[in-house]
Amino acid sequence: MKTEALSRGIVLEKKKSEWRSYELVGFWALRLTLVLVLLILGVIVFDIVSKGAGVINWEFLTQPPRVGMTEGGIFPAIVGTFYVTMITIAFAVPLGVGAAIYLNEYAVQGKFTRLVRMSVRNLAGVPSIVFGLFGMAIFVKIFGFGPSLIAAGFTLGLLTLPVTVTASEEALRTVPKAYREGSFALGATRWQVVRTVVLPRAIPGILTGTILGLARAAGETAPILATGAAFFLPHLPDSIRSQFMALPYHLFIMSTQHHAISQVRPIAYGTALVLLALVCLLNLAAVLLRKRYRDRVAKGL
Amino acid sequence: MVSITEKAMRAIFIFCGLAIILFLVGILYILLSNSMPGLIELGLGPFFAADRWNPGAYGEPTYSLLNMIYGTLKVTLGALIFAVPVGVSAAAYLAEIASPWEREFFKPIVEVLAGVPSVVLGFFGLVVLAPLIARVFNLNSGLTAFNGAILVGIMALPTIITLAEDAITAVPKEYRHASLALGGTRWQTIWKITIPAAFSGITASAMLGMGRAIGETMTVLMVTGNMVARPESFLDSVRTLSAGIAIDIGDVVFNSTHFHALFVAGLLLFLITFAVNLLADILIQRKPEVSK
């Protein structure tokens, strides 16, 4: 009897160890999917950095394109992207923060707030080219801005709105309830509470959302195709009504539309590297800022 | 006593909330109002007729979206076949197995991948992946649906990983503890308990990934070759709905039939992604719970 029980125990043990090795193989298989993600990103970044780095120098970053865009730099595209993202932020951040304040501080949670939140999520899912169509119809034609920095900036602003709303709401939610209750108990009005107690603590989180929005807007091409981006401009945009060159559009042009594609490939690589570096740095800044912010919240500060 | 500032600020914030709904409704309205003249002039038939999209044709322009719909389907399905298994596995690993430092290491990588602009990914596909595919399959050009599917899959991956991980993490600890206490291994617990419990959330993540794939514009525009012919296989060049709009949007004549036809394509794209996102939204609300 005893030996039988013992041998059964041994069989069970054996099965268990078999299971453990299966498990290890399985875990490694799952881990490999993440390694694959890392590899994909690594290959893309390596290719663009290794072939783009040689092109980048002071002249490339500070000179306009010359000789039918086969020589020179990408300065106007950098400036254009900077201008258009500034307009985007000016449009999306006040509106996004305002909506988040409404959702988190003012509204009674119910059907209407559910509808607003659902709209935010659905707005985030609207294809970027549909934003392009919308911007062309409303800002370029109906409002009569024409293809311009402001039309493109507003279009991109709509596109980044869900990013700023979501990030701002998260930031507001991390402010403890007790802070608000304490101020109300001292006789403060709602706006005083929001302005002096809630907003100051939520600023880092809102800043994170702003940077993420910037990164998103800087990299988008489809919405600006027909709302203001230009193939080539001899001078920098001088008002919000002028057309502009933009980094992502410039990359698109240099890699698919230029008459001497293979000759300008190095310039395309350089543009891709500048754009990738810009967007990645912005995203990285946002991730680091958020991490510091969350750690601070977790510590209860 | 409520001061004027107090009232004004309240009104401003309510307006901000309302504005978001208005924007979404406004997009739908603009798409409808600009596609209506086209639909009235041509009727619904020509947009789904068995010919090609050729609005510039001399004499008899045709406006069929059918081949572009096939193109979108082909690229989207191809992308999901690759992105869903990889994405869900990665999410399962991050949520259930990864040690804290592994999570700290891999999560920012997923976020950085999500941040790569679609035009950069398209450029990579154009100059690296397309020649590679052409060589492997012995084609004249690597600008195919296959190429597009891989790159759009890469674009959808971060969405799927992030949301599926959230869904798996949201499964109550009690489920896992019960399974482990009954002698289940971790592997069994993951595949037989946690993932089935998170199934609706995981499906939602796949659908949102699908939404991204359907709407993705620049990458497919640059890497699929944009032929309007009906695609036979994955190694044919295709034009998707989104790319079709992007190609024509630059030089379309305002208020022409062509212009309105583009908005019909945009409306179709909007309605498809809207339905997909709405469905995902409903699925996400269905979370597993424990009664206490």
Residue A7: pLDDT over 70 = no
- Which residue of A40, A113, A115 to mutate against B (max B Cβ within 10 Å)? A40
Give the pLDDT confidence of B60-70 residue by residue, as tens digits.
Answer: 788 888 888 98
Give the pLDDT confidence of B95-132 residue by residue, as tens digits.
Answer: 988 888 988 888 888 988 988 999 999 999 999 998 89
Domain count of chain A? 2
Please report which confidence band the pLDDT of residue B40 belongs to, taking 50, 70 and 90 as the band edges: confident
B30 touches chain A (CB under 8 A): yes
Beta carbon pairs, A and B, within 8 Å = 258
A37, A115, A129 ranked by CB distance to B245: nearest? A129
Please report which confidence band the pLDDT of residue B187 belongs to, taking 50, 70 and 90 as the band edges: confident
Residue A86 lies in a domain: yes
Residue A296: pLDDT over 80 = no
Quick one: pLDDT at residue A301? 57
Taking an 8 Å cut-off on Cβ atoms, the answer to whether A280 and B126 are in contact is no
Tell me: do A40 and A155 sit in the same domain.
no
Residue B271 burial (CB count, 10 A):
12
Diameter of chain B measured on Cα atoms:
79
Nearest residue to B74 via CA among B22, B144, B138, B14:
B144
| Gap from A31 CA to chain B (nearest CA, Å) | 6
| A147-156 average pLDDT score | 93
Tell me: do A41 and A84 sit in the same domain.
no
Taking an 8 Å cut-off on Cβ atoms, the answer to whether B113 and A141 are in contact is no
The dihedral sign for the CA sequence A241, A246, A252, A258? positive
Residue A161 burial (CB count, 10 A):
25
Residue A218 lies in a domain: yes
Tell me: do A15 and A136 sit in the same domain.
no
Quick one: pLDDT at residue B254? 83
From chain A residues 55-114, the ones with a CB under 8 A of any chain B CB are 94-99, 101-103, 105-107, 112-113
Tell me: do A172 and A284 sit in the same domain.
yes
Q: Report how far apart, in Å, the C-alpha atoms of B230 and of each of A156, B65, B222, B269 are.
A: 33, 11, 18, 19
Taking an 8 Å cut-off on Cβ atoms, the answer to whether B185 and A189 are in contact is no
Measured in degrees and rounded to the nearest 5, phi and psi for residue B217 equal -110, -60
CA-nearest residue of chain B to A248? B119
Tell me: do A149 and A294 sit in the same domain.
yes
CATH number assigned to the domain comprising residue A163 = 1.10.3720.10
Q: Report how far apart, in Å, the C-alpha atoms of A115 and of each of A103, A119, A178, B113, B267 are.
A: 11, 6, 28, 31, 21
Taking an 8 Å cut-off on Cβ atoms, the answer to whether A287 and B157 are in contact is no
Taking an 8 Å cut-off on Cβ atoms, the answer to whether A30 and B92 are in contact is yes
Tell me: do A109 and A180 sit in the same domain.
yes
Taking an 8 Å cut-off on Cβ atoms, the answer to whether B115 and A47 are in contact is no
**Residues of A in Cβ contact (< 8 Å) with B272:** none
Please report which confidence band the pLDDT of residue A11 belongs to, taking 50, 70 and 90 as the band edges: low
Residue A26 lies in a domain: yes
A261 touches chain B (CB under 8 A): no
Tell me: do A43 and A118 sit in the same domain.
no
Residue A207 lies in a domain: yes
- Give the burial string for A65-97 (b: 16+ CB within 10 Å, else e): beeebeeebbbbbbbbbebbbebbbebbbebbb
**Residues of B in Cβ contact (< 8 Å) with A74:** none
Query: Over chain B, what HEC string results?
Result: CCCHHHHHHHHHHHHHHHHHHHHHHHHHHHHHHHHHHHHHHHCCHHHHCCCCEECCCCCCCEECCHHHHHHHHHHHHHHHHHHHHHHHHHHHHHHHHCCHHHHHHHHHHHHHHHHCCHHHHHHHHHHHHHHHHHHHHCCCCCCCHHHHHHHHHHHHHHHHHHHHHHHHHCCCHHHHHHHHHCCCCHHHHHHHHHHHHCHHHHHHHHHHHHHHHHHCCHHHHHHCECCCCCCCCCCCCECCHHHHHHHHHCCCCCCCHHHHHHHHHHHHHHHHHHHHHHHHHHHHHCCCCCCC
A14-18, A291-295, B263-267 — which is least confidently predicted?
A: A14-18
- Which residue of A17, A33, A227 to mutate against B (max B Cβ within 10 Å)? A33
Tell me: do A228 and A119 sit in the same domain.
yes
Nearest residue to A69 via CA among A280, A249, A297:
A249
Residue B219 burial (CB count, 10 A):
32
Tell me: do A83 and A223 sit in the same domain.
yes
Residue A28 lies in a domain: yes
Give the pLDDT confidence of A220-231 residue by residue, as tens digits.
Answer: 999 998 888 888
Give the pLDDT confidence of A60-99 residue by residue, as tens digits.
Answer: 888 888 877 778 888 999 999 999 999 999 999 999 999 9
Tell me: do A20 and A122 sit in the same domain.
no
From chain B residues 42-61, the ones with a CB under 8 A of any chain A CB are none
Residue A299: pLDDT over 80 = no
Tell me: do A44 and A84 sit in the same domain.
no
**Residues of A in Cβ contact (< 8 Å) with B274:** 122, 125-126
A184 touches chain B (CB under 8 A): no
**Contact by Cβ (8 Å): B27, A134:** yes
A37, A194, A268 ranked by CB distance to B90: nearest? A37
- Residue A235's domain comprises 75-244+275-298
**Residues of A in Cβ contact (< 8 Å) with B16:** 94-99, 101-102
Average pLDDT over chain B, rounded to an integer: 88
Tell me: do A18 and A159 sit in the same domain.
no
Question: For chain B, which domains are there?
Answer: 62-285 (1.10.3720.10)
